[in-house]
Chain A
Amino acid sequence: MTRRQFIPLAGIAATASYASIKLQKPPKLPDGPAGNSAVAIVRARSYSEDLVSRMLQGARECGLDARGKRVLLKPNLVEFESSTVINTDATIIAAAVELFHRLGAAEVRIGEGPGHRRDTLDLADDARYRYTIPQFDSIFTDLNRDDVSPVTGFANERKFYFPNTVLGADLIVSLAKMKTHHWAGATLSMKNLFGLVPGAIYGWPKNKLHYIGIPQSVAALSRHFRNTFAIVDGVVGMEGNGPIQGTPKPAGVLVMGRDLVAVDSTCCRIMGIDPEKVEYLRLAADLGHVHPGRIEQRGESIASVQTNFALIEEFSGLRLA
């Protein structure tokens, strides 16, 4: 059979299989843990608002207790392009540092291990972290090059290495950006945990996670790191071809909560994405709540802030009905 003959036949076969998959009802999600999860949606129309007060409001609504804890803030610092909004805004991180000091944390550090770029401090410079966040250099750890220790039981790996700064934290705060993602559909507080994996061991990009599977790795990271809290920067998110080449999309919100699955599900609904169709959320549905009936929405309602994020064709099927 020639390539010219094969391609149409393969196309027909692929279309038929795709159609049969689409017609099948996806398997029911697991019930998730006992009880409901609180997720706060806080309005913040611009980065010049009083973000610390907004975050304090959200933290209280979620019952966050950070007293005496060593807190690691994990922003989403990926690449820099002045024409778009790839990274968690510097003002959000500065406000989070202030928030956790006010909440009585014993220590507040910032850590990130970008997946593509080698020069993390230069990237932080471009993203204005070093100018906006007081004493940034002294509280920041490049997780790509931190000392590491092995853990067992991560994603069926015999041993997997994580930075000591991550393993030593009592509370990891995923300071994610609200973005679409060309592999995962959306990147929010759970996908942001990819930056905890050290590049010096696993490379740039962290290709080991791709071979485990992106949705599987996202779920595995959330399964392993349960001492987490999420603050998603949706003041200005990214739509279209995210997470790098998309376009800015103002949503005017911060989304906060202890249940990262519930936070990401809420973000998806705000973005006009059906969380039950996002594979990593399906895989992690035993860790937290996807179903809206099990999420106690605090602050603003989803309906009052919902704004459809443009999706690339590949993910048009994720659109919330």
Chain B
Amino acid sequence: MLALHGTAGSQAGLHRAWKLVRSWQTPDGSSRPSGQVEGGTWITAHTVTLASVRGVYDDQVRRSVDWMLSVVGAEHNMLMRTAAFFHLLKTTLDVSHAGWPWREGNAAWIEPTVHTLVALKKVRAEYRSSELESRVREGEAMVLSRRCTDGGWNCGNPGVLNFDLPSYPETTGLALVGLQGRSAAELAGPLAVARRFRQETKSSLAKAWLTIALRCHGDHPAELPGENKVPTDVMLAALEALGHPDGNYRLFGTGGVA
């Protein structure tokens, strides 16, 4: 829906899709990933981003924002923070910062945190609150704290049992989308890693997220050989369209410094 937004002839289809997505909202404000699945998930962040893009800021969106503000990664509880203080965790996670989980009641990871950061930053002007600003700052701090020693990001776990874990291209791209607004000096290293990943990775999905991330940060990455091959599925086609120089990558834009 983001990829097609504003394109000729897509309005009626997008309107139907938007109605369908809205019908999946649950009473607590979260969104279900489909009509077949009960209970809201990380998808809620996407519906809020879509709402913002469509200029919809009603009570239904408000409930989604409230739900996102109420959800915290389960590793951020007192027990885990105490265990981390005494170095009793097997992982090298910094659990002092609150991020967002894929599903309520689970730990926070990079991807759901990034999508929620984008959504909250996009609606911050409409739903002003100190709580929202605090969660955005905490979410960014969580993402920054989960950076791998090689300079990028994986799912959100930089190490286990004193072994460093490697970063992935796609999650490095995603993390940078969520960190828009941070200072150039702070992101110079990660952006360099992202540029290198984009040159090296074979993954079309990773290339697409890295392209979107670099464009959101003001880069104008050159087209890579083989980038015009026909995408293998709808999600990939949408991400590649979003990352095109004339694409809707700007819809992930979240404005100035937090």
Interface residues of A (CB under 8 A from B): 3, 6-7, 10, 81, 116-119, 121-122, 125-126, 145, 147-150, 159, 161, 182-183, 200-205, 207-208, 210-211, 241, 244-245, 312, 314
- Tell me whether B155 and A314 are in contact (CB under 8 A): no
Question: How far is A161 from B38 in the complex, measured between Cα atoms in Å?
Answer: 10
CB contact under 8 A between A161 and B37, given known A122-B206, A314-B161:
yes
Question: How far is A183 from B161 in the complex, measured between Cα atoms in Å?
Answer: 10
Q: What is the distance, in angstroms, from B231's C-beta to the closest C-beta of chain A? A: 11
- Tell me whether B38 and A159 are in contact (CB under 8 A): yes
B204 part of interface (Cβ distance < 8 Å): yes
- Tell me whether B86 and A241 are in contact (CB under 8 A): no
B6 part of interface (Cβ distance < 8 Å): no
Question: How far is A207 from B104 in the complex, measured between Cα atoms in Å?
Answer: 11
- Tell me whether B86 and A7 are in contact (CB under 8 A): yes
B28-55 vs A, Cβ < 8 Å mask (1 yes, 0 no): 0000011011100110000000000000
Which residues of the partner chain A approach B232 to less than 8 Å between Cβ atoms?
121
Which residues of the partner chain B approach A211 to less than 8 Å between Cβ atoms?
74, 105-107
Question: How far is A182 from B235 in the complex, measured between Cα atoms in Å?
Answer: 33
Question: How far is A159 from B106 in the complex, measured between Cα atoms in Å?
Answer: 16
Question: How far is A211 from B104 in the complex, measured between Cα atoms in Å?
Answer: 11
- Tell me whether B106 and A208 are in contact (CB under 8 A): yes
B102 part of interface (Cβ distance < 8 Å): yes
- Tell me whether B86 and A203 are in contact (CB under 8 A): no
Q: What is the distance, in angstroms, from A126's C-beta to the closest C-beta of chain B? A: 7
- Tell me whether A182 and B205 are in contact (CB under 8 A): no
- Tell me whether A182 and B161 are in contact (CB under 8 A): yes
B258 part of interface (Cβ distance < 8 Å): no
- Tell me whether B205 and A148 are in contact (CB under 8 A): no
Which residues of the partner chain B approach A159 to less than 8 Å between Cβ atoms?
38
Interface residues of B (CB under 8 A from A): 33-34, 36-38, 41-42, 74, 85-86, 90, 101-103, 105-107, 109, 111-112, 154-155, 157, 160-161, 163, 165-166, 168, 170-171, 202-206, 232, 235
- Tell me whether B38 and A118 are in contact (CB under 8 A): no
CB contact under 8 A between A207 and B205, given known A116-B154, A147-B36, A161-B37:
no
Which residues of the partner chain B approach A202 to less than 8 Å between Cβ atoms?
102-103
- Tell me whether B85 and A3 are in contact (CB under 8 A): yes
Which residues of the partner chain B approach A81 to less than 8 Å between Cβ atoms?
166
Contact partner of B106 (CB less than 8 A), chosen from A125, A145, A203, A244, is A203
Q: Name B205's closest neighbour in chain A (CB-CB).
A: A119
Which residues of the partner chain A approach B155 to less than 8 Å between Cβ atoms?
116, 204-205
- Tell me whether B109 and A207 are in contact (CB under 8 A): yes
- Can you list 8 residue pairs at the A/B interface with Cβ under 8 Å? A118-B170, A122-B205, A148-B36, A148-B37, A203-B101, A204-B111, A205-B109, A211-B107
Which residues of the partner chain A approach B206 to less than 8 Å between Cβ atoms?
118-119, 122
Which residues of the partner chain B approach A312 to less than 8 Å between Cβ atoms?
161
Which residues of the partner chain A approach B106 to less than 8 Å between Cβ atoms?
203, 207-208, 210-211
Which residues of the partner chain B approach A7 to less than 8 Å between Cβ atoms?
86
- Tell me whether B170 and A245 are in contact (CB under 8 A): no
Q: What is the distance, in angstroms, from A282's C-beta to the closest C-beta of chain B? A: 20
Q: What is the distance, in angstroms, from A86's C-beta to the closest C-beta of chain B? A: 12
Which residues of the partner chain B approach A125 to less than 8 Å between Cβ atoms?
202
Which residues of the partner chain B approach A150 to less than 8 Å between Cβ atoms?
36-38
- Tell me whether B102 and A207 are in contact (CB under 8 A): yes
Which residues of the partner chain B approach A119 to less than 8 Å between Cβ atoms?
170, 203-206
Which residues of the partner chain B approach A149 to less than 8 Å between Cβ atoms?
36
Contact partner of A6 (CB less than 8 A), chosen from B86, B109, B165, is B86
CB contact under 8 A between A210 and B41, given known A7-B86, A116-B168, A147-B36:
no
Q: Name B206's closest neighbour in chain A (CB-CB).
A: A119
Which residues of the partner chain B approach A244 to less than 8 Å between Cβ atoms?
165
Which residues of the partner chain A approach B205 to less than 8 Å between Cβ atoms?
118-119, 122
Q: Name A142's closest neighbour in chain B (CB-CB).
A: B233
Question: How far is A125 from B157 in the complex, measured between Cα atoms in Å?
Answer: 25
- Tell me whether B86 and A207 are in contact (CB under 8 A): no
Which residues of the partner chain B approach A118 to less than 8 Å between Cβ atoms?
170-171, 205-206
- Tell me whether A203 and B102 are in contact (CB under 8 A): yes
Question: How far is A172 from B219 in the complex, measured between Cα atoms in Å?
Answer: 47
Question: How far is A148 from B37 in the complex, measured between Cα atoms in Å?
Answer: 8
Q: Name B41's closest neighbour in chain A (CB-CB).
A: A201
Q: What is the distance, in angstroms, from A70's C-beta to the closest C-beta of chain B? A: 21
Question: How far is A145 from B111 in the complex, measured between Cα atoms in Å?
Answer: 16
Question: How far is A145 from B85 in the complex, measured between Cα atoms in Å?
Answer: 38
Question: How far is A210 from B74 in the complex, measured between Cα atoms in Å?
Answer: 12
Which residues of the partner chain B approach A147 to less than 8 Å between Cβ atoms?
36
Which residues of the partner chain A approach B36 to less than 8 Å between Cβ atoms?
147-150
Which residues of the partner chain B approach A161 to less than 8 Å between Cβ atoms?
37
Q: Name B160's closest neighbour in chain A (CB-CB).
A: A182
CB contact under 8 A between A207 and B203, given known A10-B86, A119-B170:
no
